[in-house]
Amino acid sequence: MSLLTQAGAYPDRVSDYNGVTSPTPVQFDKRVCSYQEKPCQSRGTCTMKTPVQIVTVSPEESGQKLFAFLRARTGQHLPEALCMRVVRTGQVRIDGRRCKPFDRVLAGQTVRIPPLEIQNQAGPQKNTTSVSVERVFENSDMIALHKPSGLPVHGGSGWTDSLRDRLAALPWPTPFIPVPVHRLDRDTSGIVLCAKTHACVRAMHAQWQSVTKAYLCWVQGVWPWKSWHTLTSLLEKKKTTQGQRMVPGTGKTAITHVLPVASQADSTLLLVVLGTGRTHQIRVHLAQAGHAIYGDGKYGTPGSRLLLHATMLRWPGQSILCWPDWQAPYTITSALRQRVVHILDSAPTKEASHV
């Protein structure tokens, strides 16, 4: 059975954690929406001390590798090298016995987590956005979130805010913190699926290649093809004077299906379905075709916002839709939404790409 439950464009109501239903979309707590980690004020490193803990593995955590379990239980602050060391030196125990980093923990087992001193390098920090994150769908296995443009899915490289950080800051009913099972570029908005159990993580990864992924974007110029048009090329990552870019070369095959939905002045709204999932694939293909996405500073002309939105994820017979909140003149009106939904009923699928 698929882990995705029918959601349609927007479910009428979703269940909150206390069992009370509330209208969709549901905004996260303001404390989380405006989440911003306070950077260390000292030079060098900041040290966080933890007490010894004896914790019980929950059903949602069952099946995780021990080192991943430890990192999750310490808020991802435990360096991988330190994690491996405390396990191999016998400081971590499962049901009182020595263990290995890649042993899998099972529901009901007890795990001893030793006292830890975790040092984080202090340095310049980058903040992203205080825009709220909305739930567009949720069931017992997973949660679908509307990620705003400018918010990375995962932290790192000096960023103090990420979708994963916001998930970790929420009061969840179980020790397992929902995990994003895929990525979107930081500047791309749209659906991000997060698993609420480790079993769901593994199942979704196994099914991910069969998921149809559709995007909406506004591009420069009038798109010349009136029906579905497929863009294909070999893409590889290279370092340029502007940083890393995906460029045509001898890399992996990238397949992108494109259909115009609407146009105005010298711009076109495109519906894009991925045949493959290469980095920056849509942005590169459209720029190569002479129709860069508005706001794409890497492959086109910089702007205040990248007008690229992950609008649909679909398993056979099941789908989740999420609409962009673009302002005029790029607003996705009710009429455009209805047209997109109708088109998606017969859109290309991953299977049709033979990839």
Q: Provide the 10 A C-beta neighbour count for residue 53.
A: 13
Q: Identify each DSSP E strand in 84-228 by its residue range.
A: 93-94, 110-113, 116-121, 134-138, 142-147, 179-180, 189-195, 212-220
- Whether residue 192 contacts residue 153, with contact meaning beta carbons closer than 8 Å, is answered with yes
User: Within 10 A of 2 (CB to CB), how many other CB atoms are there?
Assistant: 15
Report the distance separating Cα 205 and Cα 275, nearest Å: 17
185 among known catalytic residues? yes
Q: Which of the residues 103, 141, 165, 185 is marked catalytic? A: 185
- Joined tokens for residue 134: 């909305």
Q: How far apart are CA 113 and CA 192, in angstroms?
A: 31
| H/E element, 26 | strand 26-27
Helices marked H in 210-320: 281-288
Q: Return the active site residues.
A: 185
